[in-house]
Amino acid sequence: MQLPSSLLENAVNQFAKLPGIGKKTALRLVLHLLKQDVNDVQFFGETIAKMRRDIRFCQRCFNVSDGDICSICSNSMRNQRLICVVENIRDVIAIESTQQFNGTYHVLGGIISPLDGVGPDQLNIESLVARVEKEQTEEIIFALSPNIQGDTTIYYIQKKVHHLPCKITTIARGIAFGGELEYADEMTLARSLTNRLPVQQYVK
Amino acid sequence: MQLPSSLLENAVNQFAKLPGIGKKTALRLVLHLLKQDVNDVQFFGETIAKMRRDIRFCQRCFNVSDGDICSICSNSMRNQRLICVVENIRDVIAIESTQQFNGTYHVLGGIISPLDGVGPDQLNIESLVARVEKEQTEEIIFALSPNIQGDTTIYYIQKKVHHLPCKITTIARGIAFGGELEYADEMTLARSLTNRLPVQQYVK
């Protein structure tokens, strides 16, 4: 694609670096911005740069935060002795949007995956263990990806904290709401049978 | 969607203003940028703002340009007496990428559309007429949308320049390459029959 201006081309190249955005979409976005007010576009650029420059990570749970401690960790209405262990910030946002969880989080920053060169040392695992020890955590809930890497991570962390008087659980795996039994994979279906629930508990 | 940081939220809101990008996609883009180097993101923001601030429009053809006159208008290898009239910059880029056109352009900035409140005065029509008069243009090729608004625009401009010794043409309408006859609309099929070509000319 031959562009008539180098300024336009630079902007298109920047947008095209974003995930899921190709050259054509990037051009569409840039031509849209070209029609906007100069100050609005200036503000757009500044907001993005400021976000990256000024954003901080909670020193306790490694969630994104405007300050040293995030709004979840500093909220006394939440159960601070309940930790949900997640892979990344997106998982925190997903769980928060259910409005069903009243504890805190611990963002690992990934999961153990030797093939991708990610070992326990690159993740926020030491800080989790220290936190569980220091804060006398009552329960750790693992909400990690249901695959080998996720299971390895759970196993590794469990080994590290098994001497502590802390309950360790994982979120339920089973047939999704609206999911058809016949399209479910064998493993999920088998697990959902093994971990079946009394109907009273289900309809509660 | 509840976001844990106002900086994050502002950035997501900015991205979500772009066409075709919703809140979820915006969040994905912002979280991607969060993983990039601070300087890279700073550069991203600056490039976008600089593009909007410094970009100029060619004083002759209203294409985007780095200077007063765009690279197409200042190229002496191109036929400066042949003008292709298009609606917007995207059309220029589309035609340029065919590498089959060796003339210049004139970007109208839209087409006449009374329902959308766009009249001839809002478009670069006066400048086109002045240009055709002054430059002794040999041919105007209209490459506008094949609809009522496009036809109205062609009719209006043609009336304005019909006293000048300038050939006026429009790009061919017909069955697209790879298009199936049975799925073509009646109007296109009828036009492609009326404007049929000698085979010698077609295979040339």
pLDDT tens track for B39-86: 999 999 999 999 999 999 999 999 999 889 999 999 999 999 999 999
- What is the 3-class SS of A45-89, one letter each residue? HHHHHHHHHHCEECCCCCCEECCCCCCCCCCCCCCCCEEEEECCH
> Domain B75-171 maps to which CATH number in 3.90.180.10, 3.40.120.10, 3.40.190.10, 3.40.1360.10?
3.40.1360.10
Instruction: Give CA B12 to chain center in angstroms.
Output: 29
Choose, out of A51, A69, A107, the residue to mutate when testing the contact with B (most B CBs < 10 Å).
A51
Q: What is the pLDDT of residue A60?
A: 93
Taken as a whole, chain A contains a residue count of 204
| pLDDT confidence of residue A137 | 92
Task: Write the pLDDT tens digit of every residue in A92-134.
Answer: 998 988 888 999 999 999 999 999 999 999 999 999 999 999 9
Q: How far is A182 from chain B (nearest CA, A)?
A: 30
Chain A contacts in chain B segment 18-57 (CB below 8 A): 18-21, 25, 27-34, 36, 38, 41-55
Give long-range contacts, CB 8 A cutoff, 24+ apart: A98-106: A102/A77, A102/A78, A103/A78, A103/A79, A103/A139, A103/A141, A104/A60, A104/A61, A104/A72, A104/A73, A104/A78, A104/A79, A104/A80, A105/A61, A105/A63, A105/A72, A106/A61, A106/A62, A106/A131
Other beta carbons within 10 Å of A98: 7
A68 at the B interface (CB within 8 A)?
no
Tokens at residue A145, please?
A: 């990806």
Tell me what pLDDT residue A66 has.
86
Q: What does the pLDDT read at residue A97?
A: 87
**Residue extent(s) of CATH 3.40.1360.10 domains in chain A:** 81-171
Fold of A81-171: Dna Topoisomerase Vi A Subunit; Chain: A, domain 2 (3.40.1360)
Please determine, for residue B12, whether its predicted confidence score (pLDDT) is greater than 90.
yes
Q: Classify the C-alpha dihedral A199-A97-B36-B55 as positive or negative.
A: positive
The CATH 1.10.8.420 domain(s) of chain B lie at 6-54
Q: What is the pLDDT of residue B102?
A: 92
Topology (CATH level 3) of domain B6-54? Helicase, Ruva Protein; domain 3 (1.10.8)
**Domain A6-53: CATH architecture, name and number where available:** Orthogonal Bundle (1.10)
pTM of this prediction? 0.78
State residue A204's pLDDT score: 57
Where are the domain boundaries for CATH 3.40.1360.10 in chain B? 75-171
Q: What is the pLDDT of residue A202?
A: 65
pLDDT tens digits, residue range B99-155? 889 999 999 999 999 999 999 999 999 999 999 999 989 999 999 988 899 999 999
Residues of A in contact with B59 (CB under 8 A): none
pLDDT at A64 over 80: yes
Mean pLDDT of A170-183: 82
pLDDT for res B79:
94
Q: How confident is the model at residue B204 (pLDDT cuts 50, 70, 90)?
A: low
pLDDT of A179 reads 75
Pairing relationship of beta strands B56-57 and B64-65 according to DSSP bridges: antiparallel
- pLDDT for res B36: 92
Among partner residues B27, B48, B71, which is closest to A45 by beta-carbon distance? B48
CB interface of A with B, residues 163-192, below 8 Å:
none
ipTM: 0.80
**What is A150-202 written as a DSSP string?**
HHHHHHHHHHHHTTSS-EEEE---SPPTT--GGGS-HHHHHHHHHT---HHHH
Q: What is the pLDDT of residue A203?
A: 63
pLDDT band for A146, please (50, 70, 90 cuts).
confident
Nearest chain A residue to B41, by CA: A49
Could you tell me where in chain A the CATH 1.10.8.420 domains are found? 6-53
Residues ≥6 apart with Cβ < 8 Å to B165: none
Mean pLDDT of chain A, nearest integer: 90
Q: pLDDT at residue B198 above 90?
A: no
Nearest to B41 among A11, A19, A49 (CB): A49
pLDDT tens string A16-46: 999 999 999 999 999 999 989 999 999 999 9
